Amino acid sequence: MLFIPPYVPEAFLTMYLPAIYAGLIVGFIATMAIAMKRQEIHILILTDLVGLAMIFVVSAVGTDLAEALILPGLVVELAETLAISEILITREMRIIEQDPRRNLSKSSSIFPQPFSLNMEIMTTAPNFIALVLIGYGIFLTGFTGGAVAGGGIVLYALSKKARGLPVLMLDGIAGVSGISWCLWIIGFLLFFVAPQYWLLSLFLAACGLLLKVASKVGLIGLLMREDIDKE
């Protein structure tokens, strides 16, 4: 039984060129679209495509290493989208705040335009889906598990129509995620200092990351709930 070949198999070698050319073309389309667009929110959406092109180029290598490298890339994309969209919102709010007369939409605080996601799935299935996602995430154990379980929490939070206590809740979440991050670092260091306790450190790392990602992704759910279901 040959578990791994000494060299990259032929199949990956032939798949490399189409994959990387596809990545270059997708990247070209995305960048050109960005260069032609003026509205900033559209540029923000289009940068998502640039991230997809990056996944193509990285995954084309076709080794376990490539797979391990895709994950940071994806996470960086996610993180930057989150931070930048928040900054965009802040900027617009500050602009309106500084000169309310110029932009009459300050009235939006007087007459909030109610917006609700009237999707069937939002009212019937979400709790079940959330449960499945969280369960599957725990089953996976590790970074992906954390993300999947976090997705479950997002769905759960989205489906609940409740308002209030966001700040208290967030403080708690931030605390949990900080602790789990420390757990994670300790796990990593333990690996190098004392390899014989690898199982312990693995569990520290994996569970720390699970907690962390789940709680962080849960934050997005809270944000969404605050904004979307305010009626």
Quote the tokens at residue 205.
């790392």
Residue 193 is a binding residue for another protein (CB under 8 A) = no
Q: Which of the residues 71 through 130 are near another protein (CB under 8 A)?
A: 71-96, 98, 103-105, 107-113, 115
Angle 12-16-22 from CA coordinates, rounded to 5°: 140
Residue 64 contacts residue 41 (beta carbons within 8 Å)? no
Q: Reduced to 3 DSSP states, what percent helix, strand and coil does the chain have, rounded to the nearest 5? A: 80, 0, 20
Residue 172 is a binding residue for another protein (CB under 8 A) = no
Residue 45 is a binding residue for another protein (CB under 8 A) = yes
Contact with another protein (CB under 8 A) among 102, 118, 120, 196: 196
How many residues bind another protein (CB under 8 A)? The answer is: 150
Element (H, E) at 129: helix 126-140
Contact with another protein (CB under 8 A) among 119, 123, 124, 227: 227
Tokens 């009459």 sit on residue: 104
Element (H, E) at 94: helix 64-98
Q: What is the 3-state secondary structure (H, E, C) of 140-168?
A: HCCHHHHHHHHHHHHHHHHHCCCCCCHHH
Contact with another protein (CB under 8 A) among 126, 183, 217, 229: 217
Residue 9 is a binding residue for another protein (CB under 8 A) = yes
Contact with another protein (CB under 8 A) among 12, 132, 176, 200: 12
Q: Which is nearer to another protein, 67 or 123 (CB)?
A: 67
Tokens 């900033």 sit on residue: 40
State the nearest-atom distance from the C-beta of 124 to another protein, in Å.
19
State the nearest-atom distance from the C-beta of 29 to another protein, in Å.
5
Q: Which is nearer to another protein, 119 or 123 (CB)?
A: 119
Contact with another protein (CB under 8 A) among 132, 176, 191, 200: 191
